[in-house]
Amino acid sequence: MVENSKAVASCGEALVKLLEAYGVDTVFGIPGVHTLELYRGLPSSNVRHVLTRHEQGAGFMADGYARVSGKPGVAFVITGPGLTNISTAIGQAYSDSIPMLVISSVNETNTLGKGWGRLHETKNQRAITEPLTAFSATAYRAEDIPDLIARAFAVFNSERPRPVHLEIPMDVLASPVAYDWSNELRIARSRPQAEPKLISAAADLLKASKRPVIIAGGGALDAAESLLAIAEKLTAPVFTTVAGKGIVSPQHELHGGANLCMSPAWDYLEQADLVLAIGTELADTDMWRDTLPIKGDIIRIDIDARKLNDLYPAKIGILADAMGAAHQLNQAIDSLETKPSVVADVANLKNGILQEQAELQQKHLAVLACVKNHLPAEGFIATDMTQISYTGNYGFESEGTRSWLHPTGFGTLGYGLPAGIGAKIAAPERAGLVLAGDGGFLYTLQELATAVEEIHTPFVVLLWNNDSLGQIRDDMIAMDIPTVGVSPVNPNYTMLAKAFSCQTYKPQSLDELESCLEEAFKYMGVSFIEMHDSSVDIAQ
């Protein structure tokens, strides 16, 4: 045992205690010379440290952790390369409004901006993370930290959640604290509530509408109950974005699904006389077109004021937390007569979407159906940027919220595996599946080492192998551009997974996939299933 004789807590030690007081139970990271002082206090805390194999993995894991738990994911990274390595994951979290706290070191205060060529030196780290975060700050004194952490949690709890970056110079990290602030909680938990006048105006519009539609995004995950009640009272179908999947049960007759990218849904929206959009950006990454053909009025409810009048100017724009506003709105609406024709239209719409699927998408749906058959209740799926995920974004019906993780806005390759690991660490009792393509998987495959080291309950990596960057290849062909760099020479994925001590499967048919999934979800550890697109025969 190394003797630690320091009587006064250092800034780094106090910070770990403070994080623990804020409810942080896990940090993802890789220690380095610059962050030693952050690690000093870890062993005496209850905070679990998950060692990743690349800092981008730490970021995506923190993201997956946050998506499943609703709590901020926390990462510790070193100055310079550690921070730039995690920056892509910060960008992804920013795009998808995921709470994430990235704590990095930075060179000693007196060296900042000097360009002396110190180890890991960067011109200005905060300038890198500033465009990717709600805010990025430097703690110039140990005593600044309780303020800055309080501000970070105010972002996570009370505004549109987004990543926060806090950098701490090495000299500050190592400095003794002037007083003990390690338990100094300043929690702002209140979220903005809707203005009552606007709620009643919105209720009046909804009651008067003939054919209303509800669109719910990732911001409305906690408003599911009230939204469903509103939908039932109005007989309004609910469409969700990909981030909003699971807000309405797929068995419900008003479940429109995450089908906003499908033309039958566009047709339906075109006929709507009123759209209630709640907790959604209505961004084109969910629509696969620039804007939706909405002809009727729009009521928007969003915690971010800037979202109320951008691409889709609102007739009524309500700045509020989705859960509170949906609750108020529900109370302001009485049950109306049900409209059986709407229910029939929704069923037709969903059937229509199934009918218009091309052969490739039918293959995807066949594989996803196998997954659905075997994914245990409460299971989650973390997806990468791959064609089968794009199909699943609308075609896979999630039973609950926080069950389908997808890097929608930023669109990062390599997200799926580490995000799935982070999700699994947040919810070890839930079975987890990662859905990745052959191109995206290679971005972050080193995190299989983290997975086998940390995960001892069912966790399945399903690799969809078509030996190409399929989407880009198809785009190039469509645009008459030579297919450069899209048909890679691939490794033997199953052998790689074996080298990482995973249990591996290589099914040759959909039937075999069924039995592999069944076994894999019983295995207490990491399974790897490689499914080649040529092994999927939908003519069967």
Partner 1 sequence: MATCGEILVKLMEAYGIECAFGIPGTHTIELYRGLPQTNIRHVTPRHEQGAGFMADGYARLTGKPAACMTVSGPGALNIATAMGQALQDSVPMLVISADNNTFEKGLGEGRLHETRNLQAAMAECSVWSHTLARADELPKVMARAFAIFNSERPGPVHISMPLNVTTSNADHVPMDLWAIPSRPAAAPAQLQQAADLLNESQRPVIALGGGAADAAEWVRALAEKLDAPVSLTHNAKGILPVDHSLHVDTSPSYQPVRDLYLDADVVLGIGTEFSESDYDFFFNGEFALGGKLIRIDIDATQLTRNVRPDIAIRADAQLATEALLPLINESRRNGSQRTAQVKELLAPLNHPGYQAFLDAFQVALPGAAVIGDSTQPAYFGAAQYHAPAPRRFASAATGYGTLGYALPAAFGAKLAKPDLPVISLIGDGGLQFTINELSTAIEAKISVAVVVWNNERYEMIAQNFVDAGMEPIACDIYTPNFLKIAEGYGCPAHRAESIEHLIELLRQAQKVDVPTIIEVREQDFIQA
Q: Structure tokens of 106?
A: 């930075």
Q: Please identify, using beta-carbon distances, which residue of 129 and 466 lies nearer to partner 1.
A: 129
Q: Structure tokens of 473?
A: 């290849």
- Check residue 457 for interaction with partner 1 (CB under 8 A): no
Which residue of 17, 120, 245, 402 would you call a contact of partner 1, by CB under 8 A? 120
Tell me if 443 sits within 8 A of 53, measured CB to CB: no
Q: Structure tokens of 105?
A: 């070191």
- DSSP assignment of 475-525 equals HHHHTT----S-SPPP--HHHHHHHTT-EEE--SSHHHHHHHHHHHTTSSS
Which residue of 158, 471, 515, 535 would you call a contact of partner 1, by CB under 8 A? 471
Shortest Cβ 2–partner 1 spacing (Å): 6
Q: Please identify, using beta-carbon distances, which residue of 344 and 495 lies nearer to partner 1.
A: 495
- Check residue 92 for interaction with partner 1 (CB under 8 A): yes
Stretch that binds partner 1, among 122-130, 198-206, 316-324, 364-372 (CB under 8 A): 122-130
- Check residue 313 for interaction with partner 1 (CB under 8 A): no
Which residue of 7, 117, 189, 251 would you call a contact of partner 1, by CB under 8 A? 117
- x/- letters, 495..524, toward partner 1 (CB under 8 A): xx-xxxx-----------------------
Which residue of 113, 116, 186, 354 would you call a contact of partner 1, by CB under 8 A? 116
Q: Which of residues 247-306 bind partner 1 (CB under 8 A)?
A: 281, 283-285, 306
Dihedral sign for Cα 105, 109, 112, 118, please. negative
CA–CA separation, 539 vs 15, rounded Å? 59
Q: What angle do CA 298, 299, 304 make, to 5 degrees?
A: 115
Stretch that binds partner 1, among 28-36, 228-236, 262-270, 338-346 (CB under 8 A): 28-36
Tell me if 423 sits within 8 A of 65, measured CB to CB: yes
Segment (H or E) for 51: strand 48-51
Q: In 3D, which of 152, 163, 216, 122 has the Cα closest to residue 19?
A: 152
Q: Which of residues 433-452 bind partner 1 (CB under 8 A)?
A: 439, 442-443, 445-446, 448-449, 452
Stretch that binds partner 1, among 98-106, 115-123, 375-383, 527-535 (CB under 8 A): 115-123
Q: Which of residues 382-421 bind partner 1 (CB under 8 A)?
A: 409-414
Shortest Cβ 86–partner 1 spacing (Å): 9
CA–CA separation, 59 vs 305, rounded Å? 27
Shortest Cβ 304–partner 1 spacing (Å): 9
Sequence letter at residue 32: G
Shortest Cβ 160–partner 1 spacing (Å): 11
Please count the residues of this chain forming the interface with partner 1, following the rule CB under 8 A: 96
Three-class secondary structure assignment of 363-407: HHHHHHHHHHHHCCCCCEEEECCCHHHHHHHHHCCCCCCCCEECC
